[in-house]
Amino acid sequence: MASQIFSAIFVIIIGVGGCVAYFWGANKLVDLIFPSRGVAGAAAIDNLRRQGLVRPWLFVGPAMIILTIYLIYPVIETLRLSFLDRGGINFVGLANYQWAFGDRDFRNSILNNVLWLAVVPAACTFLGLIIAVLTDKIWWGTIAKSLIFLPLAISFVGASVIWKFIYEYRGEGQVQIGILNAIIQHFGGQPQVWISLPFWNNFFLMVILIWIQTGFAMVILSSALRGIPEETLEAAVIDGANPFQIFWKIMVPQIWGTIAVVWTTITILVLKVFDIVLTMTNGQWNSQVLANLMFDWMFRGGGDFGRGATIAIIIMIAVIPIMVWNIRQANKETGGH
């Protein structure tokens, strides 16, 4: 174990030192090859121009290489693999896609993913907005926000254990140690095995993600609400608007942009949700989702790369509209700079 710690420290030193050495050394090298100081005027200007051509690429080079290996190449390779067989050798055309849409698990995953997409972003945004508005009005709002924000720091696995403990089930009439069943039993209801109730179990898993992500929505929306000009609110009050009208007709329309950002961010997260389903049910009782199904096929029976890649592509297709929208927005904003 000690050697492990030393190797980690060693890596930090080598990694950081290597980066510094690369950037510093490459920069020096450019200066040496195209000297701009101590040479005649015309040559210096010429060399400065050449430096200006080379240097940006030295700066972005390492990042580009890593991005290419870890993200750009895999995207292309995954697309290619989705047309190949399980070992990634023989071309099978659209067979993997045909398999997917005929597969019971896959269709179940698609349905569940749609359900997650319909519920989680909406619930997080709505709850986040409400909490942001309410906490703005009270003196202990900052503390309240911190506590609601806290689950964002907890891993999905940790959160799953936390909620599994809440959903814990004991036979009827026994002492319930899961708080949900204890409450149900206290009021005379039947304790349930929540995570294996077909269809409804999806919602019990979604609650975990909503619990985690509401804090995110709250923080972003809270800061957007602060940006609303006081005058618009004062004018509404003078005109006799009630709090609900102010909220829906004055505040919400002014932060539509931020709501869209929060919504899309959580949407992407939902498409990738994997840990919660793996640890809570591993897709049993009709709770499978695409990301977990893909992980399953990566390793099932030695791994079926063709089918795994196909599922990844389906997730990617769902993300593409958001990606295009993001790039367009960014282009609009950075157009001049």
Partner 1 sequence: MAVATGNSFASRFGVHIAVLIFVTIWTIPTLGILVSSLRDKDQIIASGWWNSFSSSSQTEAGRLPPASAQTQKDGKFVLEGNIFGDGAKRAISAFGVKAAAPTQYPAGSSADLGDGVTLQVNADGSFVMISPKAFEGDRGQRVYYASSAPPKFTTDNYKTVLLSEGIGRSFMNSLTVTIPATVIPILIAAFAAYALAWMRFPGRALLIAVIIGLLVVPLQMSLIPLLKLYNGVGTFFGVPSKTYLGIWLAHTGFGLPFAIYLLRSYIAGLPREIMESARIDGASDFEIFVKIVLPLSFPVLASFAIFQFLWVWNDLLVAMVFLGTEADQIVLTAKLNALLGSRGGDWEILTTSAFVTIIVPLIVFFSLQRYFVRGLLAGSVKGG
- Contact residue for partner 1 among 72, 89, 94, 118 (CB under 8 A): 72
Shortest Å distance, C-beta 132 to partner 1: 10
- Contact residue for partner 1 among 35, 46, 50, 62 (CB under 8 A): 62
221-280 residues in contact with partner 1 (CB under 8 A) are 223-226, 230, 233-234, 237, 242-243, 246-247, 251, 258, 261-262, 265, 268, 271-272, 274-275, 278-279
- Contact residue for partner 1 among 121, 168, 209, 259 (CB under 8 A): 168
Q: Does 192 help bind partner 1 (rule: CB under 8 A)?
A: no
- Contact residue for partner 1 among 32, 41, 70, 102 (CB under 8 A): 70
The answer to whether residues 280 and 164 touch, using CB atoms and an 8 Å cutoff, is yes
The number of residues in the chain equals 337
Size of the site for partner 1 (CB under 8 A): 130
Q: What is the DSSP string of 152-215?
A: GGS-HHHHHHHHHHHH----TTSPP-SHHHHHHHHTT-----GGGSTTHHHHHHHHHHHHHHHH
Using the minimum distance from each CB to partner 1, give the nearer residue, 64 or 114.
64
Shortest Å distance, C-beta 99 to partner 1: 16
194-213 residues in contact with partner 1 (CB under 8 A) are 211
Using the minimum distance from each CB to partner 1, give the nearer residue, 286 or 309.
309
10 in the Ramachandran plot: left (φ > 0), alpha (ψ -120 to 50) or beta?
alpha
- Contact residue for partner 1 among 77, 89, 253, 300 (CB under 8 A): 77
Which tokens go with 159? 């959160």
Using the minimum distance from each CB to partner 1, give the nearer residue, 151 or 283.
151
Give 91's strand partners: 84
Shortest Å distance, C-beta 188 to partner 1: 17
* Dist. CA 113–CA 267, nearest whole Å: 10
The answer to whether residues 155 and 276 touch, using CB atoms and an 8 Å cutoff, is no
Q: Does 189 help bind partner 1 (rule: CB under 8 A)?
A: no
Using the minimum distance from each CB to partner 1, give the nearer residue, 33 or 237.
237
Q: Does 74 help bind partner 1 (rule: CB under 8 A)?
A: yes
Using the minimum distance from each CB to partner 1, give the nearer residue, 53 or 199.
53
92-131 residues in contact with partner 1 (CB under 8 A) are 127, 131
Angle of CA points 101, 157, 320, to nearest 5°:
40
* Dist. CA 37–CA 54, nearest whole Å: 17
- Contact residue for partner 1 among 162, 249, 284, 300 (CB under 8 A): 162
Q: Does 138 help bind partner 1 (rule: CB under 8 A)?
A: yes
H/E stretch holding 96 reads helix 95-102
* Dist. CA 304–CA 199, nearest whole Å: 28
Q: Does 33 help bind partner 1 (rule: CB under 8 A)?
A: no
- Contact residue for partner 1 among 177, 189, 199, 200 (CB under 8 A): 177
Q: CA separation (Å) from 23 to 10, 98, 221, 227?
A: 20, 49, 39, 40
The answer to whether residues 204 and 192 touch, using CB atoms and an 8 Å cutoff, is no
Q: Does 291 help bind partner 1 (rule: CB under 8 A)?
A: yes
Shortest Å distance, C-beta 114 to partner 1: 16
Shortest Å distance, C-beta 193 to partner 1: 13
Say if residue 152 is exposed, middle or buried (CB neighbours under 10 Å; 0-12, 13-18, 19+).
middle
Shortest Å distance, C-beta 229 to partner 1: 11
3-state secondary structure 226-266: HCCCHHHHHHHHHCCCCHHHHHHHHHHHHCHHHHHHHHHHH
